[in-house]
Amino acid sequence: MNMSNITRKMNKPQVAAFIFILPSLITIFLFWVIPLVASIAMSFMNVDLFFSRTDFVGIENYINMYHDSRFWNALYNTFRFMLMEMPLQISISLLLAVFISRNTPFSKFTRTVLYIPVICSLTAMGILWSLLLDPTLGYYAYLLKVVGFETVGFLKSTTWAMPAIAVMTVWKNFGLTMVILSAAMLSVPKSLYEAATLDGAGNVAQFFNVTLPLIVPALGFCVITNTIDSLKVFDQVYTMTQGGPLNSTETIVQYIYNRGFKIAPFNLGYASSIAVILFMIIIVISLVMYKYFIDKETV
Amino acid sequence: MRIINKMLMYILISAVIVSIIFPFWWMILSSFKPSTELFIFPPVIWPKQFTFENYISVWKSIPLLRYFVNTVVFAGGVTVISLLFDSMAGYAFARIDFKFREPLFIAILITMMIPFQVIMIPLFVEIYKFGLLDSYMGLIIPRATSAFGIYMMRSFFVSLPKDLEEAARVDGLNEYRIFWNIMLPLCKPAFVTLGIIILMNNWNDLLYPMMLTSSTEMRTLSAGLAMFVGDKVIEYGPMLAASALSILPLFILYLFAQKYFIEGVATSGLK
């Protein structure tokens, strides 16, 4: 085969398409598919930090996990965080989305401002909030003292640390949800509102009977992504409390990280088995929620 | 009644705006306070005396410039490479008919559902085995493409008129020329939107760069700052200054291109 033959072959659309998708296929296969399979495989093995020894141990990791109170604690904390964060973020976003969908200069300005925390890193914002809540130097700690809270360091209290992280997360993220919901609201046909007004429906009735049913797909998307994100919470916990005090804010991802890279003996197999459980939880919850919203949509 | 409602609403919205801005406002002002003023109780918002003391101190105690360079190389590198690969794949999936097109595309979409946190440990082992831990290559290569980016670029190419490449084929251009000379220049708006999303995600990422780097010289802004919080090596004022500096670049970009930041996500949620 000579050169011109090769060039002609290369020019076939089929071959060209293959060359176009090859880099992506390799990357996704190498860095997403293989690690996922490996994660499941490693959950049945004992693996140390640098893979120097690997032995198959069956479901031993899962049995250990079942008896590991720190795992249950992390699971409990993760759900606690999710149940505090997600409903709050969705309701605040819904409320403000109504306002910023008005398309006045002030509502546009509001949108621009409320989106600022979204572009900042959770790391920097976590640090900022932990400084604001610092019992001796923080301004929020001071304000809370003025309204009657004792100067417990909020992040040093087993009761208040998790709610504080959840509030910070809502503050940081709701702008994103709000923008998505507002885009959905803007696509609701104006005529429906006019008809509802003629029928005598007030603003509140219009919101529940016109807006809400019509933005169900976007709302469902937000609820599901939000839930998944809160189950994967890490950054803000890491910078605000590092899982403390007394592991009261240690979440699943935190625990995976700690087991794998922080606490000796580093057991990547055990860490992987926790990751597999997290994956299954995420899949089950998203499927259940997805089904719920699909049903809602067709009604 | 109407007017009272309206006023209540504006008061509420203003309160929300203040609660969003206040932490930033306080961060910036406090970062210019001398340490003596930071310790005053009750805390004052406006510094009596402006000083760069905190900035100088953080500059001396942590290699902030190095972190900055690393973050630019990592986030910028990922963005450029990913835009190229995503648009190549998106183009093929949208405009060329080939075997297994549908199943391959669906397979790629499914990988979007794999949470990074679930695969991070094997990924770490893999990068270690490749000898790429603690290097730019190790940080950039796994992110050289993204299922989300391919999906977005495919949607973009699907929306372009079909006769574009027909005309080019008649003119005798080969597939690569069509992509490079005709399609890529049309991608600019999609590149801005997707590029901002990729840049922002990687600039702000913590777990990924923290896991794949170990030496201080290779840390990104997020990973570096987080480590210093953990080790409690820097004090209150300098920490504020460092946080302020770390968000500054994206903040400036946001000031100029906020439309693209917001519109990109607004439309992605509708799909």
Q: Tell me which amino acid residue A184 is.
A: A
H runs (alpha helix) in B159-235: 163-170, 175-177, 184-186, 188-204, 207-212, 221-231
> What confidence category does residue B271 fall into, taking pLDDT thresholds of 50, 70 and 90?
very low
CATH superfamily of this structure's domain B62-268: MetI-like (1.10.3720.10)
B-chain CB neighbours of A275 within 8 Å are 117-121
Q: Tell me which amino acid residue A174 is.
A: F
> What confidence category does residue B170 fall into, taking pLDDT thresholds of 50, 70 and 90?
confident
Of the spans A242-256, A285-299, B26-40, B162-176, which averages the highest pLDDT? A242-256
CATH 1.25.60.10 is right for the domain spanning A70-298: no
DSSP helix, strand, coil percent of chain B (3-state; round to 5) = 75, 0, 25
Q: What is the pLDDT of residues A12-28, one digit of tens each?
A: 888 889 999 999 999 99
Residue A111 carries which DSSP code? H
Q: What is the token pair recorded at A286?
A: 């998203």
Pick the more confident residue, B171 or A170.
A170
Q: What is the pLDDT of residues A207-228, one digit of tens each?
A: 888 889 889 999 999 999 999 9
CB of A270 within 8 Å of a chain B CB? The answer is no
Q: What is the pLDDT of residues A130-173, one digit of tens each?
A: 989 988 888 888 888 888 877 668 888 888 899 999 999 999 99
Helix (H) and strand (E) counts for chain A? Answer: 17, 2
CB of A176 within 8 Å of a chain B CB? The answer is yes
Lowest mean pLDDT among A148-162, A184-198, B183-197: A148-162
Whether the predicted pLDDT of A7 surpasses 80: no
Chain A residue with the nearest C-alpha to that of B232: A239
Yes or no: say if B267 and A184 are a contact pair by the CB < 8 Å rule.
no
Size of chain A in residues: 299
Mean pLDDT, to the nearest integer, of B136-157?
A: 94
Give the residue among A159, A152, A158, A163 at the shortest CA–CA distance from A246.
Answer: A158
Pick the more confident residue, B139 or A262.
B139
Angle, to 10 degrees, between the axis of helix B2-31 and the axis of helix A161-186? 130
Check residue B268 and give its pLDDT: 61
Touching B: A residues 215-244, CB under 8 Å: 217-218, 221-222, 228, 232, 234-235, 238-239, 242
Of the spans A119-133, B171-185, B217-231, which averages the highest pLDDT? A119-133
CA–CA dist B166, B176 (Å, integer) = 14
Residues of chain A with CATH 1.10.3720.10: 70-298
Yes or no: say if B45 and A132 are a contact pair by the CB < 8 Å rule.
no
Cβ contact, residue pair B92, A16, below 8 Å: yes
Pick the more confident residue, B233 or A220.
A220
Percent of chain A whose predicted confidence (pLDDT) is above 90 = 58
Mean pLDDT, to the nearest integer, of B177-198?
A: 91
Q: What is the token pair recorded at B81?
A: 């490479």
Mean pLDDT, to the nearest integer, of A117-139?
A: 91
Please, which residues bridge with residue A47 across strands?
A54
Cα A235 to chain centroid, rounded: 11
Please, which residues bridge with residue A56 across strands?
A45
Q: What is the pLDDT of residues A240-249, one digit of tens each?
A: 998 878 899 9
Chain B residue with the nearest C-alpha to that of A218: B270
A238 closest CB neighbour out of B27, B88, B226: B226
CA–CA dist A215, A222 (Å, integer) = 11
Residues of chain B with CATH 1.10.3720.10: 62-268
Yes or no: say if B215 and B228 are a contact pair by the CB < 8 Å rule.
no
Q: To the nearest whole angstrom, how far is the Cα of A288 from the nearest Cα of chain B?
A: 15
> What confidence category does residue A2 fall into, taking pLDDT thresholds of 50, 70 and 90?
low
Q: What is the pLDDT of residues B98-119, one digit of tens each?
A: 889 999 999 999 999 999 999 9
Check residue B75 and give its pLDDT: 96
B-chain CB neighbours of A8 within 8 Å are none
Cβ contact, residue pair A116, B254, below 8 Å: yes
Q: Which residue in this structure is represented by tokens 């950039």? A: B140
In chain A, the N- to C-terminal Cα span, in Å, equals 62
Check residue B142 and give its pLDDT: 96
Whether the predicted pLDDT of A284 surpasses 80: yes
Helix (H) / strand (E) containing A238: helix A235-240
Q: Tell me which amino acid residue A180 is.
A: I
Percent of chain B whose predicted confidence (pLDDT) is above 90 = 56
Chain A residue with the nearest C-alpha to that of B248: A120
> What confidence category does residue B241 fall into, taking pLDDT thresholds of 50, 70 and 90?
very high
Residue B44 carries which DSSP code? P
Q: What is the pLDDT of residues A45-75, one digit of tens each?
A: 888 776 677 788 889 999 999 999 999 999 9
Whether the predicted pLDDT of B26 surpasses 50: yes
Q: What is the token pair recorded at A157?
A: 């209290």
| Most A CBs within 10 Å, among B96, B119, B126, B203, to test the A interface | B119
Whether the predicted pLDDT of A1 surpasses 60: no
CA–CA dist A182, A223 (Å, integer) = 14
* CB contact set of B72 (below 8 Å; sequence gap of 6+): none
Q: Is B196 left (phi over 0), alpha (psi -120 to 50) or beta?
A: alpha
CA–CA dist B197, B186 (Å, integer) = 19
Lowest mean pLDDT among A119-133, A229-243, B154-168, B200-214: B154-168
Check residue A75 and give its pLDDT: 96
CA–CA dist B6, B23 (Å, integer) = 27
* CB contact set of B64 (below 8 Å; sequence gap of 6+): B58, B221, B224, B242, B245
| C-alpha separations of A155 from A75, A134, A161, A223 in Å | 20, 8, 4, 27
Q: What is the pLDDT of residues B246-265, one digit of tens each?
A: 999 999 999 998 888 888 77
> What confidence category does residue A299 fall into, taking pLDDT thresholds of 50, 70 and 90?
low
Check residue B270 and give its pLDDT: 47
Mean pLDDT, to the nearest integer, of B176-195?
A: 90
Residue B114 carries which DSSP code? S
CA–CA dist A76, A250 (Å, integer) = 9
Give the residue among A111, A268, A110, A250 at the shortest CA–CA distance from A176.
Answer: A111
Check residue A111 and give its pLDDT: 92
CA–CA dist B257, B250 (Å, integer) = 10
| C-alpha separations of A78 from A33, A67, A258, B121 in Å | 26, 18, 15, 20
Sign (positive or negative) of CA dihedral A57, A59, A62, A66:
negative
Q: What is the pLDDT of residues B76-87, one digit of tens each?
A: 999 999 999 999
Average pLDDT, chain B: 89
Yes or no: say if B142 and A27 are a contact pair by the CB < 8 Å rule.
yes
Whether the predicted pLDDT of A205 surpasses 90: no
Cα A169 to chain centroid, rounded: 10
Q: Which residue in this structure is represented by tokens 């004992």? A: A46
CA–CA dist B271, B257 (Å, integer) = 23
Whether the predicted pLDDT of B216 surpasses 90: no
Q: In a 10 Å sphere around its CB, with 0-12 CB exposed, 13-18 middle and 19+ buried, how is residue B90 labelled?
A: buried
